[in-house]
A and B are shown apart, each in its own frame.
Chain A
Amino acid sequence: MSRIIGSEFFVLFLCLIAFAAFAPFTPGFVSTGNFENLLTACLPLLVLATGQTMVLITGGIDLSVTAIIGLSSVVGALVMGGEQGWLGGSPMAMPVAVAGMLATGALVGLFNGACIAWLRMPAFMVTLTTTMFFSGLAVWLAKKVVNAESIYHLPPAFLALGAQAWMALALAVFATFVAHVLLARTLLGRWLYAVGHNPRASLISGVPVAGVTVGAYVLSGIFAAMAAILLTARLETGSPNHGKALLLDVIGAAVIGGTSLFGGKGKVLWTVYGVLFLSLISNGLNLLNLSDFLITIIKGVVILVAALLDVWRTRFVRGS
């Protein structure tokens, strides 16, 4: 018993429980189709939460991910968009656009990181304001450049990412895996944890604290851009609105997984479980045909319960 509660697979067990709970009562829950939905649906969240995990580990927080999604989605579409796109039609369109999107994410991340690491501004406020700014910028861009709210007619090569479930899956899993290796097996990974534990001690021990912090936000930005790629391809549209609703889920998923908001504690694997759990719940509730306000309430309760379980089990483990 205590082994299960103590083990880091705990949340995965919760997932199985939730799964078992839904299966009998939820029409269409247990079916290949639904599983594909579930999987494809949770991919953007997965990538986002993974990026967020790296920031949380350094003791920071990145609220700007949703803005990054909107902005890079628009940027990408502006590059490869069919009608008025900068490279519309050309074979180079897709690679350049993807590069552009990732670059956008990296740049916004760089800005966040610079303000937080070098100007010592509180991460919460910095990313809150940049969220406002860049999502505004995304709308403004689309409006001024192509005089539209969103951009359609993206190259098929790009849309394949969304159409072919396995491609999206491959991309997301790859990204997650890279993040995992980075955290668990590389110098930067260890430095991220060290900074999260104690920046001053880290600095004195020769950790380039500022650099590492910036790195975390840049990575988070890039991962947000990847989520933007997934969403844009899936919805076949570049739009400033993509992913707006995801912010709280992202942090929720990471924390449910067991990542600490105070830094130094967290794993990509845990986040994967957290995301899986949240997605299972919302997918199941959806199929149960509950009214949307009930779904919202239950979501809140789930986050609460998960947090309580975490507190309870850390006590439990300490005790035994």
Chain B
Amino acid sequence: MDFTPNNAERPKTNQEPVVVFERIEKSFFGVKVLQGVSFGVGVGRIVGLVGENGAGKSTLMNLLGGNLQPDAGELRVNGHRYTPRNPKDARAAGIAFVHQELNLFSNLSIAENLFLTDFPLLGIGVPWIDRRALRSRAAELLRQVGLDHSPDTLVERLPAGERQLVEIAKALGAEARVILLDEPTTSLSSRECERLFALVTQLRDRGMALLYISHALGDVLRLCDDLVVLRDGERVGSGATKDFTHDRLVSMMVGRQLNQIYPERRAPIQTGSSESMASPDGGAVLQVDRISQPGIVRDLSFKLGAGEVLGISGLMGAGRSELARILFGLDPFASGEVRLSGELLTGSPRERIRRGLAFLTEDRRQEGLCMEASIADNLALVGLPANSRTPARFLDFTGIQSAVTRMREAVKLSAKATDGQAVRTLSGGNQQKVVLGKWLLMEPKVLLLDEPTRGIDVGAKFEIYQLIHQLADRGAGVLVISSEIEELMGICDRILVMRGGEITGEFRRDDFDRERILAAALHSSKA
């Protein structure tokens, strides 16, 4: 696509950015969520927008997208006042969105997804799709984002990363001058991220204006030209990225001096429980012995010690999540065996839960929570059988209630939320805490965590790390799967690296090294 016309349109004289937020005010039911926020996104710039959940990022986006209207202040695009009433207006103004949860239609082809709202027709007013034009134009867009798929491929056949690229191709197709990316990397492997970043930079150099929202501060600092920091609906900082450090950013977002992002990992001692003496190398709670499943994993063997926090690193699609699902009995495996504290682990998830296995999946919405159900119901779900009495498994409501309250405190769930409130209404961080609480309720022997902090703000992350450590200190084994190598290095005692369904590297806490871990994840192990 040729962007010169856009650049030509742009009044050369005034240096006003393409998009300008000016003293934007917005409140819901009397609660101010935006208080006089002002900033701009310049041509050929990538502006990073960071802030904790509830800081007002999503509200800003909805204003830009026309889903909401500001109470006060104004939006300007190319110097003209911009008052969108719906997503259509936004598109017309050349603003495109790339959302965290992908908005593609898996039952349609790539090409159809790209041009869903403006199909090329055989003639003006003739409601007949010009398939040939559709295909060629789609192919052109795919070339621009570096995807080598036939435009006719059904989207359901694409992995998450490539779907993300299709989303961007969609934005290009809509001739957008401003692209807003909201947490675009949450479902991407690090390699896919690199690809995305390359594309984003390239778009910037073509003179597009990009607004980049993410919790992955590392990415933000690497990618963006300017940063805007929000807290409680106010702009608490902005400027060129070079003026920011990771720590400064964090303390701005949280509003207090966070002396560390990862809690101190102290050797488990002072807890009173009997396993407390178990060192990372002590008796293994979980033994995985040469398990294989054709096409998924091969000859996987490892031990998880009592009180140990074991990290599993690797690219998306290395077989990490699949491993977890196999361990939890959701997917089958052909050969090998798994032992939980010495005894063979078999049967349905239900059976394994009874044996003390717990699993926090990577998909909070689909597999973690009943979004419409209340906080209490979600917290109690796993613990129900334990709290029911025969005959007829009557429920012990007092027991359940006390357990729920206990868990709420344990996971530091925000005090505002009432037990009866639907989890849908909670922030990502609090939702994740509910899932965690649900599992901690049963005092698991082994806890499997798949991307436990994805899309969660810094404060909540820290608390989740603490919970993980506390559990380990009580003698449980914790298995953490994460795409953020720093995270694993921050909280784990040991890290395994997977590639193509095999373990290609193992690192102890004392010889953690980002480069070598990444290397092991990318190509044959050097560990």
Determine whether A and B are in direct contact in the complex, meaning some CB atoms lie less than 8 angstroms apart.
yes
Query: Given A185-B394, A197-B372, A264-B372, do A204 and B367 touch, yes or no (CB 8 Å)?
Result: yes
CB of B382 within 8 A of CB of A205, answer yes
* Chain A: minimal CB distance from B436 (Å): 13
CB of B348 within 8 A of CB of A194, answer no
CB of B361 within 8 A of CB of A198, answer no
CB of B381 within 8 A of CB of A185, answer no
- Across the interface, A187 reaches (CB within 8 A) one of B373, B393, B438, namely B393
* Chain B: minimal CB distance from A120 (Å): 16
* Chain B: minimal CB distance from A209 (Å): 10
Query: Given A193-B377, A206-B382, A208-B350, do A185 and B395 touch, yes or no (CB 8 Å)?
Result: yes
Q: Does A307 contact B (CB under 8 A)?
A: no
Q: Does A190 contact B (CB under 8 A)?
A: yes
* Chain B: minimal CB distance from A7 (Å): 15
* Chain A: minimal CB distance from B380 (Å): 8
- Across the interface, B388 reaches (CB within 8 A) one of A182, A186, A197, A202, namely A186
Interface string of B385-428 (1 = CB under 8 A from A): 10010001111010000000000000000000000000000000
Query: Given A190-B384, A197-B373, A264-B373, do A206 and B367 touch, yes or no (CB 8 Å)?
Result: no
- Across the interface, B371 reaches (CB within 8 A) one of A182, A189, A191, A198, namely A198
- Across the interface, A204 reaches (CB within 8 A) one of B349, B385, B392, namely B349
- Across the interface, A190 reaches (CB within 8 A) one of B328, B330, B359, B395, namely B395
Q: Does A207 contact B (CB under 8 A)?
A: yes
Q: Does A298 contact B (CB under 8 A)?
A: no
Query: Given A204-B330, A204-B361, A205-B382, do A187 and B395 touch, yes or no (CB 8 Å)?
Result: yes
CB-based nearest A residue for B381? A205
CB of B366 within 8 A of CB of A200, answer yes
Contacts of A186 in B (CB 8 A): 388, 392-395
Residues facing B in A93-134 (CB within 8 A) are none
Q: Does A148 contact B (CB under 8 A)?
A: no
Q: Does A188 contact B (CB under 8 A)?
A: yes
Q: Does A308 contact B (CB under 8 A)?
A: no
CB-based nearest B residue for A203? B349
Q: Does A305 contact B (CB under 8 A)?
A: no
Please measure, in the bound complex, the distance between the C-alpha atom of A276 and the C-alpha atom of B373, giving whole angstroms. 28
What count of chain B residues pass the 8 Å CB interface test? 30
Residues facing B in A35-56 (CB within 8 A) are none
Q: Does B370 contact A (CB under 8 A)?
A: yes
* Chain A: minimal CB distance from B137 (Å): 38
Contacts of B371 in A (CB 8 A): 197-198
Contacts of A188 in B (CB 8 A): 393
Q: Does A201 contact B (CB under 8 A)?
A: yes
Interface string of B326-367 (1 = CB under 8 A from A): 001010000000000000000011100110000101000011
Looking at chain A's contact residues, the main secondary structure is helix
CB of B370 within 8 A of CB of A191, answer no
CB of B394 within 8 A of CB of A201, answer no
Interface string of B251-280 (1 = CB under 8 A from A): 000000000000000000000000000000
* Chain B: minimal CB distance from A6 (Å): 13
CB-based nearest A residue for B350? A206
Please measure, in the bound complex, the distance between the C-alpha atom of A201 and the C-alpha atom of B362, giving whole angstroms. 12
Of B354, B361, B380, B395, most buried by chain A (CB within 10 Å of CB) is B395
* Chain B: minimal CB distance from A188 (Å): 7
Q: Does B368 contact A (CB under 8 A)?
A: yes
* Chain B: minimal CB distance from A210 (Å): 10
Query: Given A186-B395, A188-B393, A191-B384, do A207 and B370 touch, yes or no (CB 8 Å)?
Result: no
* Chain A: minimal CB distance from B429 (Å): 18
Contacts of B50 in A (CB 8 A): none
Please measure, in the bound complex, the distance between the C-alpha atom of A198 and the C-alpha atom of B371, giving whole angstroms. 8
Q: Does B369 contact A (CB under 8 A)?
A: yes
Contacts of B384 in A (CB 8 A): 187, 190-191
CB of B394 within 8 A of CB of A264, answer no
Contacts of B370 in A (CB 8 A): 194, 197-198, 201-202, 264
- Across the interface, B367 reaches (CB within 8 A) one of A182, A193, A201, A264, namely A201
Please measure, in the bound complex, the distance between the C-alpha atom of A200 and the C-alpha atom of B349, giving whole angstroms. 12
Interface string of A173-199 (1 = CB under 8 A from B): 000000000100111111101100110
Please measure, in the bound complex, the distance between the C-alpha atom of A201 and the C-alpha atom of B439, giving whole angstroms. 12
CB-based nearest A residue for B364? A201
Contacts of A191 in B (CB 8 A): 384
Contacts of A185 in B (CB 8 A): 394-395, 397
Contacts of A207 in B (CB 8 A): 350, 381
Please measure, in the bound complex, the distance between the C-alpha atom of A203 and the C-alpha atom of B381, giving whole angstroms. 11
Query: Given A193-B373, A204-B330, A264-B370, do A187 and B388 touch, yes or no (CB 8 Å)?
Result: yes
* Chain B: minimal CB distance from A278 (Å): 27
Please measure, in the bound complex, the distance between the C-alpha atom of A294 and the C-alpha atom of B373, giving whole angstroms. 41
- Across the interface, A198 reaches (CB within 8 A) one of B328, B369, B380, B438, namely B369
CB-based nearest A residue for B368? A201
CB of A194 within 8 A of CB of B393, answer no
CB of B366 within 8 A of CB of A201, answer yes
Interface string of A61-74 (1 = CB under 8 A from B): 00000000000000
* Chain B: minimal CB distance from A74 (Å): 32
Residues facing A in B284-340 (CB within 8 A) are 328, 330
Contacts of B381 in A (CB 8 A): 190, 194, 202, 205, 207
Please measure, in the bound complex, the distance between the C-alpha atom of A186 and the C-alpha atom of B389, giving whole angstroms. 9
Please measure, in the bound complex, the distance between the C-alpha atom of A258 and the C-alpha atom of B369, giving whole angstroms. 23
Please measure, in the bound complex, the distance between the C-alpha atom of A191 and the C-alpha atom of B384, giving whole angstroms. 9
CB-based nearest A residue for B385? A187
CB of A204 within 8 A of CB of B359, answer yes
CB of A194 within 8 A of CB of B394, answer no
Contacts of A194 in B (CB 8 A): 370, 373, 377, 381
Please measure, in the bound complex, the distance between the C-alpha atom of A194 and the C-alpha atom of B371, giving whole angstroms. 11
* Chain A: minimal CB distance from B331 (Å): 12
Residues facing B in A260-301 (CB within 8 A) are 264-265
Please measure, in the bound complex, the distance between the C-alpha atom of A244 and the C-alpha atom of B381, giving whole angstroms. 39
Contacts of B388 in A (CB 8 A): 186-187
* Chain B: minimal CB distance from A265 (Å): 8
Contacts of A204 in B (CB 8 A): 328, 330, 349, 359, 361, 367-368
- Across the interface, A206 reaches (CB within 8 A) one of B366, B368, B385, B392, namely B385
Contacts of B438 in A (CB 8 A): 205
Please measure, in the bound complex, the distance between the C-alpha atom of A188 and the C-alpha atom of B393, giving whole angstroms. 8
Please measure, in the bound complex, the distance between the C-alpha atom of A194 and the C-alpha atom of B372, giving whole angstroms. 10
CB-based nearest B residue for A197? B370
Please measure, in the bound complex, the distance between the C-alpha atom of A202 and the C-alpha atom of B395, giving whole angstroms. 18
Contacts of A202 in B (CB 8 A): 370, 381
* Chain A: minimal CB distance from B23 (Å): 29
* Chain B: minimal CB distance from A235 (Å): 34
Please measure, in the bound complex, the distance between the C-alpha atom of A189 and the C-alpha atom of B400, giving whole angstroms. 15
9 contacts between A and B (CB under 8 A): A190-B380, A197-B370, A197-B372, A198-B366, A201-B367, A202-B370, A203-B349, A204-B361, A206-B349
Top 8 nearest A-B pairs by Cβ distance? A197-B370, A187-B393, A206-B353, A187-B388, A206-B350, A198-B370, A205-B381, A197-B373
Other than A189-B395, A190-B381, A191-B384, give 6 A-B pairs with Cβ distance below 8 A.
A182-B392, A194-B373, A197-B373, A202-B381, A207-B381, A264-B372
